[in-house]
Amino acid sequence: MSGLRSRSASSQRLWSTTLAAGAVFVLLMTAGMVSAQQRREREPNSVYAQRRAKLAAAADGPIVLLGLNGREEDSQAYVFAQEENFYYLTGHNEEGAGLILLPAAESKAKRDDFTGAREIFFLPEKNPAKERWNGVRMSPSDPGIQARTGFADVRAFGEMRATVERLAKFYPNIYTILPYEKELGGYPHEKEAVEWLKLAAPQANLKDIREHVAELRLIKSPTEIGFLREAIDLSVDAHFAAMKMMRPELWEYQVAAKMVEVHAMGGSEAEAYAPIVGAGPNSTSLHYDRLGRRIQDGDIVVLDVGAQYSGYAADITRTLPANGKFTARQREIYDIVLGAQNAALASLKPGADMCRKGKNSVYKLAYDYINSHGKDQNGKPLGQYFIHGLGHNIGLNVHDPGDSCKPLMAGQVVTVEPGIYIPEENLGVRIEDDALITESGYELLSGKLPRSAEEVEKIMAEGMRERAADGAK
């Protein structure tokens, strides 16, 4: 998915209310009956504990984090999904949770003065009436809750404010995730958490821990890479299905519905972001998600659709000719985009970056390829139509944290997604794949999905033959 706009799984729960397909309606109704997204798998408690220990080592005061509160559950299409940084550190998807970490260097004697523990996990108290409707939730009074959560100290959330008030008497600095001050303006949850802290500890100096968490999230653990492989494989299956069903007269939402069905039946708990299926003029809108056009003969169709597995997001885009055959102009632009992607992939390795300039920029390689290999209707180079970055990190968010100008490191998983969008020709092409940076180069995790125009047309022809054979039965 191109661009800077964050498209987290939790912010996209309502996308599918616009789809009319029966299969998707059933999935929505099922989702509306539960209040927490059930992750398929999670890492061992020891892994989350190691992350917390690394984070605590970066602070000279308590770290106080609040999870999401789940208040949106009044919407019947809302499915709770935990804030990503909180989930990364705890591995728990319970609404209304909180976390306090004390500095790693703190002595046990001093800890005993005001908390008695180096880390405390807070959960809402048992609510049998709510559980009758929404299912059993973890609570601090559950037998074995310490072993289950991986925290030696689990308390009721109602005690968290008093604990913070007590800590603020001893520590001048309290760390949390401060809201963004630019770009998107921050998320409401972050602003609310800061207001809560200001009330609990008005004298404390609030310091930002965001960048330290982002640095930890940058390099994926083997288990995280495994979750990403699952999400990517499901996405590849969905794109194969879309290639085989694509034809004129379908609606964009029908193609999206089929891809969502493949994800769900394969084990995905949610979409990584609102599916993008843009035909004809809609192919030139980067984040088009209305899905309201009937696909016409001669249209080009951009499909940017990715599954989520155990909270981890895939991000894959393919561009298809609606009738199974690229026109000469569509093929020309498609091959230029593919050539730009290949040029970038050839230099993708540790030390390279996705900055827009510099000697190590793979973005510049892609841009220069596009700018030198074709022209628009007015004879001008095509670089002006490559209007977004080359790629971004993926993980718990489809746009995981990370600075595109920093050198890539082994263990990062990034997208590589050049594109050309020419509104006056109703012609947009994007090809996007997911790559794991290795010690010597990269592994194309989505490599099972063909990228060349010939291969795309071949798969679409197979789909036409299969439909014809089914119709003859």
User: For 269-294, how does the pLDDT look when each residue is reduced to its tens digit (9 = 90+)?
Assistant: 999 999 999 999 999 999 999 999 99
pLDDT of amino acid 28? 33
Distance CA 138, CA 130 (A): 12
Which among 271, 205, 207 is positioned nearest to 55, based on CA atoms? 207
Strands across the sheet containing 270-271: 270-271, 307-309, 312-313
Residue-wise pLDDT tens digits, 50-60: 999 999 999 99
Residue-wise pLDDT tens digits, 197-248: 999 999 999 999 999 999 999 999 999 999 999 999 999 999 999 999 999 9
Distance CA 129, CA 140 (A): 17
Helices and strands per DSSP (H, E), number in the chain: 14, 17
Share of the chain above pLDDT 90, in %: 82
13: confidence class by pLDDT, cuts 50, 70, 90: very low
Q: Average pLDDT in the 26-30 region?
A: 34
For the entire predicted model, the pTM comes to 0.92
pLDDT of amino acid 17? 38
Domain definitions of the chain by residue range: 44-217, 221-472
pLDDT of amino acid 405? 97
pLDDT of amino acid 434? 99
For the cut 50, the answer to whether the pLDDT of residue 19 exceeds it is: no
Rg (CA), the chain: 24
Residue-wise pLDDT tens digits, 53-88: 999 999 999 999 999 988 766 677 788 899 999 999
For residue 305, CA distances in Å to 25, 41, 314, 323 come to 18, 22, 8, 20
pLDDT of amino acid 182? 55
Judge whether 399 and 417 are in contact, CB under 8 Å. no
pLDDT of amino acid 159? 97
Q: Average pLDDT in the 325-343 region?
A: 98
Judge whether 118 and 102 are in contact, CB under 8 Å. yes
Out of 3.40.50.300, 3.40.50.720, 3.50.50.60, 3.90.230.10, the CATH code matching 221-472 is: 3.90.230.10
pLDDT of amino acid 5? 45
pLDDT of amino acid 27? 35
pLDDT of amino acid 306? 98
pLDDT of amino acid 314? 98
pLDDT of amino acid 187? 75
pLDDT of amino acid 441? 98
pLDDT of amino acid 471? 84
429: confidence class by pLDDT, cuts 50, 70, 90: very high
- In 405-432, which positions are buried (b, 16+ CB within 10 angstroms) versus exposed (e)? eeebeebbbbbbbbbbbbeebbbbbbbb
Lowest model confidence (mean pLDDT) among 93-97, 106-110, 302-306: 106-110
Which CATH code fits 44-217?
Answer: 3.40.350.10
For the cut 70, the answer to whether the pLDDT of residue 110 exceeds it is: no
327: confidence class by pLDDT, cuts 50, 70, 90: very high
180: confidence class by pLDDT, cuts 50, 70, 90: confident
For the cut 60, the answer to whether the pLDDT of residue 9 exceeds it is: no
Residue type, 352: A
DSSP string, 217-273: HHSPPHHHHHHHHHHHHHHHHHHHHHHHH--TT-BHHHHHHHHHHHHHHHT-SEESS
The single-letter DSSP state of residue 458 is H
Judge whether 318 and 243 are in contact, CB under 8 Å. yes
Judge whether 428 and 318 are in contact, CB under 8 Å. no
Taking all residues of the chain, what is their mean pLDDT, rounded to a whole number?
91
Judge whether 284 and 421 are in contact, CB under 8 Å. yes
